[in-house]
């Protein structure tokens, strides 16, 4: 994303005149979330300042706190930073480089609705066509069976190579997980368990945690309505800028 940000924190990169972080925080507020924790890496004081300035403003969550992930150890580690903030309650997770347009219901609200129905961990999914693949990141293909907005996940493979884009594997389209989740309190214990199983120095990512959840029957897939935009890639960033400018 360096070619897009010019060295600026990716959370601050403007899309349609507004920082990426603000887009995601508004989505959280529109989903009924009033308390948000923004997890940042060290040295991102500008992101912290923006988050604090937005708290309680029009269309934003009333309470926005920040916490630092001291080392870039992966998404599951970043989620674990919020253990105390979660206070033994379910938490929704939204990644700032994944945005959604063309939907009347925010993506965060959709995974929350699935949690409310199933009372278990939820991962948001989207269908990516072969034509869209070059503007989407290298997330793994999730095999399974779609039933309306529900998706029965058969397995969760590991991620693709860093720096590459999504691959449909020769098919017309494929399903993949995107950056919208709900995790129930026991997820933190699962993250700890996965960490104990890793070789020293390995990244503590979300994939092995969700593989554990799937194996014990505590993970649901929710197909998200709307157009998924991966703003972490130059092509996806340009697409998001064009679509949100017209919104």
pLDDT at 5: 54
Q: Residue 196 has what pLDDT?
A: 96
Taking only the tens place, the pLDDT of each residue in 81-129 is 999 999 999 999 999 999 999 999 999 999 999 999 999 999 999 999 9
| Cα–Cα–Cα angle for 133, 134, 136, rounded to 5 degrees | 65
Instruction: For the chain, list residues with pLDDT below 50.
Output: 2
Helix/strand/coil (H, E, C) string of 141-174?
Answer: ECCEEEECCEEEECCCCCCCCCCCCCCCCCCCEE
Residue in 113, 142, 138 with CA at minimum distance from that of residue 126: 142
**145 burial type by CB count under 10 A (0-12 exposed, 13-18 middle, 19+ buried):** exposed
Sign of the torsion angle spanned by Cα atoms 181, 108, 74, 89:
negative
DSSP state of 225: P
Q: What three-state secondary structure class fits 55?
A: coil
pTM of the model as a whole: 0.93
What is the per-residue pLDDT for 2?
46
Residue 232 pLDDT: 85
- The pLDDT assigned to 63 comes to 98
Rounded to whole angstroms, the Cα distance separating 234 from 195 reads 32
34 three-class SS? coil
């Amino acid at each position: 994303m360096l070619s897009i940000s010019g060295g600026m924190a990716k959370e601050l990169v403007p899309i349609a005149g507004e920082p990426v972080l603000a887009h995601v925080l508004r989505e959280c507020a529109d989903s009924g979330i009033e308390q948000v924790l923004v997890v940042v890496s060290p040295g991102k004081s500008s992101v912290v300042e923006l988050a604090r300035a937005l708290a309680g403003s029009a269309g934003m969550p009333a309470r926005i706190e920040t916490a630092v992930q001291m080392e870039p150890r992966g998404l599951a580690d970043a989620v674990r930073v919020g253990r105390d903030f979660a206070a033994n309650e379910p938490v929704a997770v939204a990644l700032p480089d994944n945005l959604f347009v063309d939907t009347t219901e925010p993506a965060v609200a959709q995974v929350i609705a699935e949690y409310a129905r199933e009372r278990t961990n939820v991962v948001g999914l989207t269908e990516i066509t072969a034509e869209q693949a070059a503007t989407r990141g290298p997330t793994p293909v999730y095999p399974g069976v779609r039933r309306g907005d529900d998706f029965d996940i058969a397995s969760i493979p590991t991620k693709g190579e860093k720096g590459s884009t999504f691959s449909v594997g020769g098919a017309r389209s494929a399903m993949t997980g995107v950056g919208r989740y709900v995790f129930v309190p026991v997820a933190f214990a699962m993250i700890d368990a996965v960490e104990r199983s890793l070789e020293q120095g390995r990244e503590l990512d979300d994939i092995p945690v969700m593989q554990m959840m799937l194996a014990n029957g505590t993970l649901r897939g929710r197909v998200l309505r709307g157009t998924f935009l991966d703003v972490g890639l130059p092509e996806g960033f340009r697409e998001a800028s064009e679509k949100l400018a017209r919104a």
